[in-house]
Structure 1
């Protein structure tokens, strides 16, 4: 494959620029401040090219996975190696793919949110850790069969880091 072909393709069958936002986050936080995300509600507003039928049946599910872009992360902040999560030296170095920080190479985020309601092309959710204006790449219903099979394990530092992440006030 020539050098030009490599620049146009980022994987089999996928050309750069093929992935476009299907929606944007409206409301919720305006800054990506860690913790207490479960108290946040937001609306995912579909792009005009989609009609209400794109969301038909989604209200029958309790939760949806929202795939989005951390578009506010400057390229200079992208991590490709290891770092101490939240810059805490008392936590071990962890590679960028062993944590869920926003400064990932492709800046892609994924969150499972509670579905509150659907109004036309607007999906109301709770617990989305994305900020107002964030581009949304995809919405998928959560199905039991796609949840982890067997025991889920994680290191102690991850449990400590997440202790207040979803906490709800009051």
Structure 2
């Protein structure tokens, strides 16, 4: 297995959120704009799906933001200290994220989406339609602190 892996973005987020925030990610529309060197036909049929799986890079993070140690989510001592791979933020080694935005439409190389928690200019490394039958199987469980931490995550910014 190689020690490194190179990846070239397939698209870029255009519009939507302009700044990084922990909450209030809902309701914002953005475009995922496919690179010019990919034919628009690579998106043919995508508009028939309701959601995407988008893998993207925390491009505003710095390499020294990576934190390979135990810490409480969002620095809140009320929540248990957990390891790096229990967090879903930019402090991960490869600074990658996965999101599941709703598809509003496809026009040429542009995919119009909502509820994408990436910011304007974010490099998109991969995208695919969401297939529910390939989602988690069986009961899904999370510790209580996850729901305690995220009640405002998908609220609209105008609901603050």
User: TM over 0.5, yes or no?
Assistant: yes
Give the unaligned 5+ runs of structure 1.
1-5
Q: TM-score, normalised by structure 1?
A: 0.88
Structure 1 counterpart of 2:8, from 16, 20, 34: 20
Residue 54 of structure 1 aligns to a residue in which SS? helix
Aligned to 2:118: 130
**Does residue 140 in structure 1 map to residue 128 in structure 2?**
yes
Supply the distance in 2 between the matched residues of 1:155 and 1:16 (Cα, whole angstroms): 33
Give the unaligned 5+ runs of structure 2.
none
Report the CA distance between 1:144 and its aligned residue: 1.4
Supply the distance in 1 between the matched residues of 2:45 and 2:123 (Cα, whole angstroms): 23
Supply the distance in 1 between the matched residues of 2:120 and 2:146 (Cα, whole angstroms): 26
Which structure has the bigger radius of gyration?
A: 1
Aligned to 1:3: none
Q: Deviations over 1:132-165 (max 9, x none)?
A: 1000001111111111111110011111111110
Aligned residue pair count: 158
Give the RMSD, CA atoms, in angstroms. Answer: 1.4
Supply the distance in 2 between the matched residues of 1:67 and 1:16 (Cα, whole angstroms): 15
Supply the distance in 2 between the matched residues of 1:132 and 1:144 (Cα, whole angstroms): 28
**Does residue 64 in structure 1 map to residue 82 in structure 2?**
no
Instruction: Decide whether the 8 Å contact of 2:65 with 2:90 is kept in 1.
Output: no
Report the CA distance between 1:75 and its aligned residue: 1.3
**Does residue 74 in structure 1 map to residue 62 in structure 2?**
yes
Residue 53 of structure 1 aligns to a residue in which SS? helix
Q: Identify, as 1 or 2, the structure richer in strand.
A: 1
Query: Which runs of 4 or more aligned residues in structure 1 lie more than 4 Å from their structure 2 counterparts after TM superposition?
Result: none
